[in-house]
Structures are given as structure tokens and as C-alpha cells.
Amino acid sequence: MFDRRHLLLGAAAASLLPSLSRAQTLTDEQRSASKTANADPTLAPDLLLPAKEMKWWRDAKFGVFVHWGLYAIPARGEWYMFNEKVSPEDYARLAAEFHPHHYDPDSWARLAKTAGARYMVMTARHHDGFALWNSPASYGHYDAVHSAAHRDLIAPYVKAVRREGLRVGLYYSPLDWRFPAYFHPKELPDNAALFKRQTYAQVEELMRHYGHIDILWWDGGWLAHKGTDADAAWFWEPDKLNRMVRKYQPDIVINPRSGWQGDFDVQEGGAPITGPIRARPWEKTFSINQGGWGYTPENNVLNADQVVRLLVDAVVRNGNMLANIGPDRDGIVPPRQAETLKGVGLWLKRHGRAIYGTRPGPFQPVDGVYGATTAGDSVFVHIVGWPSDDLSLPPLPRKVLGARNLSGDAVRWTADANGHTLSVPPASRGSAVTVIELRLAPEAA
Ligand code: GLC
């Protein structure tokens, strides 16, 4: 299937391949979480979307991420090929076993909708290089049409997500482990040219052939798993790449991982969210199955309370949340991940007013205690931990007309010159978060 002249495989190229110990490999994966740190803000600032085109994204707050591809078959995560040093030829054999009999993106989109998500993002192509769509530009026809699936799997996903009224996102990794030039771009210029051309042409396919796309979610713009995405900008020319994207999709929201700063920041992993309100819009992304992004047997699955807590901690700091599921080789969403999403949906049914369409503030969050969001004449106080029976809040510029516990249970509040005090009996507190709405007197005309 692969042309040995270009892909891995002559002895010279093979000797250039990294030989890493398992421990170092894990570090690579972990390092990928912080690789966007130094994007150059002076690179193509004209590409940033104006605030009015970012509004829907900032209002949406919650998306569902899907990591799915050939790596669902060995079930050891999406880094399986690299971590276990599987050669491209051996890995490619998985394509002949890729029969996703239960692939039903409508059911994924319905699940995301039930969870209260407003958008989805799916891995059109991960670092293994296998494209889930009909991709003539794919090196060696390494795509779903030429696999046992024999069809384009992105087109029905895009349709399904739209049908549920959700915004459509595509994830694309310019990184492709099949190309030795990924590890040695300067030493292997011919292979590097081929590698780069594939990325530009595949992204063009995705941007041209699937109608309107709302989000482009880059990942892996770095080189040789070293440095950051921005360090690889000399190679990818992310300004040129994203200019091409915007030519086809003028209002697409773009994440930061191509080496260009992007329209929002990303913070990856399930670690707690702390600190003040962030100036730039940002997104917390993590896998609900903490065992991996791509399918692995469910292990350490976050429950709905834990995910709600991450959502609230992101939203009160100007963030969104993109929570990942990893369907199995047949396309089935594992049951505990589905259950977590449904639990988040139940919480959002009752508390969605305090999340969707809000903006953070007026209070700065206090880590582990509370944060706030605002919409119209309401301030929502999200209490994540009670330091004592009462919670004291700073004063507000407008009179508070009343306080309501969104769970329907009791709340007592008192106001004095120094601010407000809220108290909610333990039985009326939420298991993850207690949300109190303060209704403010209308602003004087
Ligand atoms: C990490 C993982 C990568 C995953 C990404 C999602 O970088 O290494 O596999 O796709 O997170 O944000």
C-alpha cells in the first residue's frame, strides 16, 4: 500500500526513527498537553474572528469531543501505534478489520444533545494518519473508503450533528507518524514536502466538501514531538494554512494548535481548574474515560458530578468545556461514558440558565468555593464548596431583589453594607454545585 521510496522504510530512514523507551514515550504524550504555550501573538492577528462571530461559541459553553479511528480496534488508546512502535505497514492492516457495524452518528448526536452539549468535535484524522472520510489526497489511499468500512464516515456525522441542531466541529492532526519527515523534516526534504502537501490538501477537502463547518480543532502541529506547535511554524506556515481554511469557511472558529494562536485557548486534561477569570475565551478539554481519549476499556470514568464541576469551574472563568468520549471499534459509546453525559444533561436541564449564554462575573472566582456568571438582570452564584454554614459575597452595584436556589430548594440571603450572605441548609445543596440566582433591580435608565 505504501511507496517505500517515501515512507518509512528504507534502512536510512528507518535508522532515523526515534527509539524511545516507554517512559520517554509517556512523557511525549503528557507533553502534548502543554504544547501550545508559546503561540506567537504577532502571527496573522488579522485572522482572529471578530467578537460577534465568536458569540455563538462563547454562548454554547459545552461540546462533546469524539476520538474514534482504527485505534479503537486494539483498544489501547490513540497513541497505540507510536507507543507500541507498530510499523506503518502493520498498523495499516487494521484498516481491513475496520467494520464499524454499529456506526450511528445520529445516536452520538442525540446523546450529545441529551447531555446539553451545543457542539460536537470529531477526529477526522488523528496522528496515525488514517482519514475517516473519502480523502483522495491521503497518502496511500489511507482512508475509510479504502478500509473495510467502504464508506465516508464524516459525511453522515456532519449531517447527524446538524440534524440535532448542534454546531459541527472537525478535529484534524497535521502530524502523521507514517512520514519519517515528521521526525526529521530537515534531513528528509522530499518526504517532508509530501507530508506537508498531504496536510494542506486534506484540510482543503474537509473545508470544501462537507458544507458549513463551525469549528476546526487542530492538534499536533509540533514536529518530532518536540517543543511546541509554534516552534514548528516555520514548517507548517500556519498563517497560510489557516488563511486557506478561512477562504472556504470564513467564520469557522479555529483552536490554537496549528502554531497560530487561534480564536480561543485550550487547556487539556482533567486537572482542577483554578485562578481568576481569563481574558481570552478558552476551552477545557478532557476525556470522560480518564484511561484514554480513543477507546480503552472503561477505567477511571468521571461521573456526572465531576464533569459538572469542571463545566462550572470553566464557565465562571470565561471557558467552555469539551468533554471527550471514545466509542469502541463498532461505534458504540461505552455505557459509563454515556451515563455520565446523560447525568450532565439532567443537571443542565435545571441549571442551564446559569450556564448557556452567560458571561463570567461580576465576582472573581474563589478556588474551591464559588464563582459567578451573569445574564441580563441575574447573577448566578455557583457554590462548589462551603467554607462554613454561610457564604459571604462582595457587594454588588445594584440592589438585589431576591435570591433563588435553582434546584428549587431553600436559600436564605441577607444583605448589609459589606455585601451579601447566602445560606443553604446542607440538604438543599447540590451534590456537585449549588447555584443561587440573585435577581438584580433593573439598571436605572
Ligand atoms: C492529547 C493527546 C491526543 C489527543 C489530544 C486531545 O494531546 O495526546 O492524543 O488527541 O490530547 O486534546
**pLDDT per position as a tens digit, 277-328:** 999 999 999 999 999 999 999 889 999 999 999 999 999 999 999 999 999 9
> Does the Cβ of 28 fall within 6 Å of ligand 1?
no
The model's pTM:
0.93
Q: What is the predicted pLDDT for the residue at 12? A: 35
pLDDT at residue 27 greater than cutoff 60? no
Residue nearest to atom 8 of ligand 1 (CA): 29
Under the banding of pLDDT at 50, 70 and 90, the label for residue 416 is: confident
Closest-lying ligand 1 atom to the alpha carbon of residue 67: 10
**pLDDT of 329 strictly over 60:** yes
| Average pLDDT of the residues in 73-80 | 97
Residue whose CA is closest, atom 7 of ligand 1? 32
Question: How high is the pLDDT of residue 5?
Answer: 35
Q: Is the C-beta atom of 255 inside 6 A of ligand 1?
A: no
**What confidence score (pLDDT) does residue 21 get?**
38
DSSP strand pairing (434-440 vs 400-405): antiparallel
For residue 220, how far is its CA from the centre of ligand 1 (angstroms)? 8
Strand partners, 379: 374, 438
Cβ–ligand 1 contact at 285 (below 6 Å):
yes
* Ligand 1 pocket check for 283: Cβ under 6 Å: no
pLDDT band of residue 16 (cuts 50, 70, 90) is very low
382-385 own/partner pairs: CB under 8 Å, 24+ apart: 382/312, 382/315, 382/316, 382/354, 382/433, 382/434, 382/435, 383/422, 383/424, 383/429, 383/433, 383/434, 383/435, 383/436, 384/309, 384/312, 384/313, 384/432, 384/433
Q: Tell whether ligand 1 has an atom less than 6 A from the beta carbon of residue 293.
A: yes
pLDDT for 108 equals 98
In this structure, of 32-46, 320-334, 347-361, the range with the lowest mean pLDDT score is 32-46
What integer pLDDT is reported at residue 36 of this predicted model? 60
Domains of the chain, first to last? 4-354 (3.20.20.80), 361-440 (2.60.40)
Identify the pLDDT of residue 417.
78
The reported pLDDT for the residue numbered 121 is: 99
Over residues 209-263, the pLDDT tens digits come to 999 999 999 998 889 998 888 899 999 999 999 999 999 999 999 999 999 999 9
Summarize pLDDT for 161-203 with one digit per residue, the tens.
999 999 999 999 999 999 999 999 999 999 999 999 999 999 9
362: preceding bond cis by omega (within 30 degrees): yes
- The confidence score (pLDDT) of residue 31 equals 63
Ligand 1 atom closest to 127 (CA): 9
214 lines ligand 1 (CB under 6 A): no
HEC states along 372-432? Answer: EEEECCEEEEEECCCCCCEEEECCCCCCEEEEEECCCCCCEEEEECCEEEEECCHHHCCCC
d(CA 275, CA 314): 10
CB of 32 shorter than 6 A to ligand 1: yes
396-413: average pLDDT: 91
> Do the Cβ atoms of 196 and 234 come closer than 8 Å?
no
